[in-house]
Amino acid sequence: MSGEHDAADRAHREAQAERLLAAWRTPTGWRYWSAVNNSEVGAWYTVAAFVFFLFAGVLALLVRVQLAVPSNDFLSADVYNQAFTLHGTVMMFLFAVPIFEAFSILILPQILASRDLPFPRLSAYGFWSFVIGGVFVCGSIFFGAAPDAGWFMYPPLTTDLEQSGIGTDIWLLGLSFIEVASIAAAIELIVGVLKCRPPGMRINFMPLYAWYVLVVGGMILFAFPPLIAGDLLFEMERAFDWPFFDPERGGDPLLWQHLFWIFGHPEVYIIFLPAIALVAMIVPTFAQRPIFGYSWVVLAAVGTGFLSFGLWVHHMYATGLPAISIGFFSAASEAVVIPTGVQIFVFIATLLTGRVIFSTPLLFIAGALAIFLIGGLTGVMVALAPFDWQAHDTYFVVAHLHYVLIGGMLFPIVAGFYYYFPLVTGKKLSDRLGRTAFWLMFSGFNIAFLPMHLTGLRGMPRRVFTYPEGLGWDTLNMVSTVGAFIFAAGILVVLLDVMRPKRRQPYAERNPWNAGTLEWLCEMPGKPWGVRSIPLVTSRYPLWEQANFVRDVDEGRFFLPDAEEGERETLVTSVLDAEGVQCLRVPGPTFLTMAAAVFTGGVFIFATYHWYAATAVSGVLALASIIAWLWTGTAVIPEKDEKHIGHGRTLPLYMSGPRSVGWWAMCITMIGDMTAFFSLVFTYFFFWTVNPSFPPEAAPGPGVLWPAVALAMLIGAWALTTMARRWNARDRVLSLRAGLALAIVLAAASMGALVFGVRGTGLDPTASSYGATVWVLILWLAAHVAVGSVMQAYCIARSMAGKLTGKWDIEIRNVSLYWHFLAFTAAATTAVIALFPLVD
């Protein structure tokens, strides 16, 4: 009897597994590239970021060859300047930040035992955008058209159209495009961590990697928008002569430095913290014990995130700022040592209290620690203004930043490669090659960069394409060049290890490192579904701490072991306690996201060449493909209200409002959007602070009348949108549609009043920084109103198609949330441009 029962049970489970596999199967043939599942997109993303890394590495070698001997003519000044600019740009924007997002897309769902991230198509869109933008930026050097003013692009060198050609536009627009993709990925990852954890994984059970993703995602949200706002100002000056950085018309070159470094300093931690996240996953495994001091690490990571926004001025000590502000920023910069030190000592304490197993990943971690420690100590030095005035912009800083980034990022990433490779491919990398690579990289790195400290102290500035002999720099530079090639050889060994055919190598055993976290539930080779069933988690290291855990997962004894309807499903849980709230159906493969990325890329690329007609066409196509993607893939009405997910639990299939992932994504997006808006407001008050005649006496407009009229109408449109949401809840279909239509008309009238009214006052954006700043705020508002109107029109269409009703109301709830932020933007804009000149 029991034997029969077992057989039936087994057959039942096999049928379940087959259905699950069918739902999650990766498309084959040319359709493979339509995949959106995190395991494919994450792998492509990682490979692409690594390819960009190799490209930038080759540029670095060219730079080192040029500097090997004094008065060298291997590269011309022009090519050298492009090479070092592109090296920095690509390493920062196309490798260091994206590799974190790529890696996280790849492994975060596994770490959370989730089947996928909440918006797989958004990841795919971000990936294709990244590749297109990256190829565009990198390719420029083959046409001699690469940016050539250093990766921080200081104006006025870069706003001078004769000295900085198309390369600067490629930098501004190409990278803005990539930054948008980065923010998209950050939103996806934040929502993933907050809402897609397995049931029972309360926030204090979260694996440390997830904590770091949360912190870094938040930082991206607040750090990238100022740069995007800066890029906007920059491109307006280059393309339309709006004088934000031109001192002769009331602009200020330092404004860019502030906006750039408000981004640029957190950027360093955005790069560094994810690498520490890898360390926080790897160290406990090889110490064979839980992390020692979980709360300390979490507090330190959050603290680092906060502090990193208060340090940007330490990149600007030499600009002649007042001593009092320099003192403040010196102290703040030193303070970041404390949370960083806490994290390092937590890892040391974990090793101390555990039984350490030596391995290749741990070797790379040890190397990372050694290198980063030196980078951190020189960081303490350059944070002190009196010392920084010597070291700033010299090879000392070049050495410092490479110690920080290579120790704090590259070595942990390689450790992560060796650690997680079996998770992705089912096979281990070679220990022998790994050790060879380590010693080449470690020794090569120190031979290359340790002497640079001295080169810098002896007065060699960075970014020089050549130097005269006899200044004490010759031997040091030769040594650095030799070291760089040894380092490169180490990278090459890693590459060989990854690329070598492994067909005959057996699959690794399951959980090869005997780790305790959920990603190691993965079978070797992995299955596209991720986990056989989504477990109930009651501890931080379930594989170590929960009895029969792997068996129960494999036998489908936890949640969602089946895909009865052939849909891709994953669980959405509550933010703090991870109680199940929804069974989320995620969309499957599509080429729409690729098309949307291609056309969005077209907008940026055509705009670079001032082909505005093509830009407009591409924009329309991008909008069309995004709408098609939303229409077919989001807010799909399920065939039933709820479903059993196992263990006698039932969860709804459709969810809107604050408990849904879409609402969270909108809210988080708008927080990022607000940050960009505040950067523009900052611009206004920055000018007001530094410039005694801002607003200039003679400036006409914008006046109070037209901005006030516009605001009144826009508030009307917002009120109608809010009402429309309520009408919809009561299924008053006609009111909903009429209300939204009226809102669109009002919004258009409002923007008409604002633009034509202010134009009528004669306020000229090219005449002064004042006009330019007021107009850029208006432009920002108008663009947001346009997007808001498209959303309203989309809701009307969804309602008419019967896809938006009182019960199925995701669209209108998210759109009305957008309009809350929009109403705030409008009110704040009006207060700044119309009312502030009155009180001043």
Partner 1 sequence: MGLLRVMVVGGAVIAALVGGVAVHAARSNRENQEKLGRALIIGGGVVVPAFALAALLVWSLPMMTAFRAPGDGLRIEVSGEQWWWRVRYWPEGAETPIETANLIVLPAGERTEIVLDSPDVIHSFWIPALAGKVDMIPGRRTRLVVEPQEPAELRGQCAEFCGTSHALMSFPVEVVPAAAFAGWLEREAAHAAAAEPGPAEAGAELFSALGCGGCHNVRGTGADGVIGPDLTHFASRPSIGAGTLPNEPEALRLWLATTGKVKPDVMMPSFGMLGAPELDALIAYLAGLR
- The whole-angstrom separation of Cα 705 and Cα 300 is 50
Q: Which is nearer to partner 1, 241 or 523 (CB)?
A: 241
Residues 194, 575 contacting (CB under 8 angstroms): yes
Q: Which is nearer to partner 1, 331 or 786 (CB)?
A: 331
Residues 115, 192 contacting (CB under 8 angstroms): no
Smallest separation (angstroms) from partner 1 to the CB of 73: 10
Smallest separation (angstroms) from partner 1 to the CB of 445: 16
Residues 619, 65 contacting (CB under 8 angstroms): no
Q: Which is nearer to partner 1, 211 or 808 (CB)?
A: 211
Smallest separation (angstroms) from partner 1 to the CB of 275: 17
**Does an H or E element contain 300, and which?**
helix 294-307
Both tokens assigned to 392: 């700033």
Q: Which is nearer to partner 1, 84 or 706 (CB)?
A: 84
Phi/psi of residue 510, each to 5°? -70, 145
644: number of Cβ within 10 Å = 14
Smallest separation (angstroms) from partner 1 to the CB of 690: 9
Dihedral of CA atoms 396, 491, 486, 66 in degrees, nearest 10, equals -60
Q: Which is nearer to partner 1, 496 or 690 (CB)?
A: 690
Smallest separation (angstroms) from partner 1 to the CB of 461: 5
Q: Which is nearer to partner 1, 81 or 110 (CB)?
A: 81
Smallest separation (angstroms) from partner 1 to the CB of 344: 7
Smallest separation (angstroms) from partner 1 to the CB of 520: 22
Residue 500: burial class (beta carbons within 10 Å; 0-12, 13-18, 19+): exposed
Residues 227, 676 contacting (CB under 8 angstroms): no
SS3 sequence of 301-362? HHHHHHHHHHCHHHHCHHHCCCHHHHHHHHHHHHHCHHHHHHHHHHHHHHHHHCCCCCCHHH
Both tokens assigned to 536: 């109930």
Smallest separation (angstroms) from partner 1 to the CB of 696: 15
Residues 97, 267 contacting (CB under 8 angstroms): yes
Both tokens assigned to 182: 């980065």
Q: Which is nearer to partner 1, 98 or 155 (CB)?
A: 155
Smallest separation (angstroms) from partner 1 to the CB of 489: 25
Smallest separation (angstroms) from partner 1 to the CB of 60: 17
Q: Which is nearer to partner 1, 467 or 770 (CB)?
A: 467
Q: Which is nearer to partner 1, 207 or 303 (CB)?
A: 303
- The whole-angstrom separation of Cα 446 and Cα 787 is 51
Q: Which is nearer to partner 1, 3 or 320 (CB)?
A: 320
Q: What residues have CB less than 8 Å from 679, skipping those under 6 apart?
A: 225, 226, 229, 230, 259, 262
- The whole-angstrom separation of Cα 58 and Cα 490 is 14
**C-alpha to C-alpha distances, 223 to 229, 573, 748, nearest whole angstrom:** 11, 28, 32
